[in-house]
Amino acid sequence: MMKCKIPKEKLTAYVDKALSREETDIIEEHIKSCPGCRLEIADIKSVKSIISGVSEVKKSPAFWDSLYLRIMQRLDYGADKIFSFTKRKLEYIIGFAFIVLFALAILWNNPFDKNGKENIAENLGEDKELELLLKEHDLSAENSIIPEFMNIAYISRNDRGRK
């Protein structure tokens, strides 16, 4: 038997009417003189016939309605899960953002420093008075531990005040 040059896949496509007009004409011309391809086409048609003889999926309207309903319920359940996950994530992000903003606000305003400044301002006068007293009684830092201590404390407060 002469070897046929037509690819077999083309015969399947021919049976399925999936070829172009031009290709279809070529096949139809070819099978006039090729019994092998005619037999192949007959086989393909028979198999198709058997397989497509499988019943169409026919269900009652009630079945389709309840199937649709169950799909909707599944989507609701699944969507809630998605939504709650997204919502939680959003809550975490917002919460974190608030914490960061709050921390920044604290650092920016520095309420402890403000209090410190006020204390320093209040104490400044007292210290000055004390200093005068010390000088008056010659109880300067050189002669006394306590004044030195107080000077150190005054200086450290002053440094904070400059901040």
Q: Which is nearer to another protein, 68 or 102 (CB)?
A: 68
Q: Using the minimum distance from each CB to another protein, give the nearer residue, 33 or 60.
A: 60
**Residue 50 vs 107, nearer CB to another protein:** 50
DSSP 3-state of 24: helix
Report the distance separating Cα 153 and Cα 126, nearest Å.
13
Cβ proximity to another protein: between 54 and 145 the closer is 54
Torsion of CA 60, 62, 68, 69, to 10 degrees: -160
Residues 75-104 that bind another protein (CB under 8 A): 75, 78-79, 82
Amino acid making up residue 157: R
- Among residues 35, 74, 93, 114, the one that binds another protein under rule CB under 8 A: 74
Q: Considering the rule CB under 8 A, would residue 163 count as an interface residue with another protein?
A: no
Closest approach of another protein to the CB of residue 57, in Å: 4
Structure tokens at 98: 């608030």
CA dihedral 28, 29, 35, 41 (to 10 degrees): -10
- The answer to whether 15 and 41 have CB atoms below 8 angstroms apart is yes
**Considering Cα of 37, then 39, then 42, then 43, what sign does the dihedral take?**
negative
- Within 34-73, the residues that bind another protein by CB under 8 A are 42-44, 46-59, 64, 67-68, 70-72
Closest CB 58 distance from another protein, rounded Å: 6
How far is it, in rounded angstroms, from Cα 99 to Cα 122?
A: 33
Q: List contacts with another protein (CB under 8 A).
A: 8-13, 16, 18, 42-44, 46-59, 64, 67-68, 70-72, 74-75, 78-79, 82
